[in-house]
Amino acid sequence: MKVGIFKENAKVDSRVAATPDSVARLIKLGLEVAVEKGAGVLSGFPDSGYKDAGASIVSSTDIFTADFIFSINLPSETRLSKLQSGSMLVTLPGLCEDDGTLASLAERNIDLLALERIPRISRAQSMDVLSSQANIGGYRAVLEATIQYKRFFPLMMTSAGSAKPARVVILGVGVAGLQAIATARRLGAQVWAYDVRPETSEQVESLGAKFIDLDLGEEGSGEGGYAKELSDEAKQKQQQLLSEELQKADVLISTAAIPCRPAPRLITEETVKGMREGSVIIDMAAATGGNCELTEAGSVIVKHGVQIVGHTNYPAMVPADASSFFSRNLVNLMELLVTREDEKLVRPDYMEDEVTEAALVVYQGKVRF
């Protein structure tokens, strides 16, 4: 069986779905690996590294014949049209906005394993690409804040005087938010954090930050550890209560997101107007509309004296480690996708495993999502 690694669109992503280390592990499983020429260059992995690990460097044409195709982002329509019947595409397809791709793949008998559908259970943690990439994103977002903020993060005492530590507020205490808290604390900032799920307060405090506790009259805890959308009344109350806390921030990092929904608007223009000039907002939800109503996706702007950063792919700003983490997740997943019987690799019954059963959104000619 052969695994093919696509080169990502350089305008979209600088990561790659496999590294030389992960290639070596795949080959150890008994798989043949083909990597598209130049796939790892932007992540710091030259073709020579893949060759040394045992992979073949090929054109995209040769990837189409693979049994399993790895790609971080959903390949272009042109590439999808060339995949062979009976193959399996393993990627992040973005299921919230299906444009008929799923039905088209099903009609051509191409399986699609959606990595965002891997369940958040203990045995699947090592395959959870959303968590591994969010962790990196939270880290990189704080580094971006230190670049955009024109002052120190930690308390600084010098012969010329002292500087107070930055006051950093994190909105959303998921994987990205927790890493942002930890990173900001390591850099010496004073950190506060808020989430609609009250159970996250213990996690916040365990990292040395303070939890912003608001009484909204309802909780925002949803399924699978995610937040759920609040009622309109609770949203309005949330904005009113949050505004005063947010205006105290020197740096505001927002990570709040709801699966398949526009990002909740937590930072109004009036809040931005009340922030100190020179403050920074890092809106990690920019790709889904932004937590700040002034955010412009893909741009860095200044409004009312506040720097608002709308970058949409923080993991890709740390491409080497982001690719390494992503590829390790896929190697661990691959151990569920193939098994050895009588010295041969075969595909097991995917419907008998809760991980693959949940993640296969197109399987054996049927759309299951």
Rounded Cα–Cα distance for residues 116 and 95 (Å): 9
What single-letter DSSP state applies at residue 115? G
Catalytic residue, from 120, 261, 276, 340: name it: 120
Active-site residue flag, 81: no
Catalytic residue, from 43, 71, 87, 131: name it: 131
CB 212 within 8 A of CB 190: no
- The per-residue DSSP string of 195-217 comes to -S-GGGHHHHHHTT-EE-----S
Catalytic residue, from 125, 126, 236, 240: name it: 125
Active-site residue flag, 226: yes
In angstroms, the Cα distances linking 39 to 244, 279, 293, 332 are 47, 38, 36, 21
Catalytic residue, from 108, 186, 226, 243: name it: 226
Edge-to-edge strands of the sheet including 167-171? 210-211, 190-194, 167-171, 251-254, 280-283, 306-309, 300-303
Active-site residue flag, 131: yes
Residue 189 Cα to chain centre, angstroms = 24
Active-site residue flag, 108: no
Catalytic residue, from 128, 195, 250, 283: name it: 128
Q: Is the C-alpha dihedral spanning 283, 289, 292, 297 positive or negative?
A: positive
Active-site residue flag, 197: no
Question: Catalytic residues, which ones?
Answer: 120, 125, 128, 131, 226
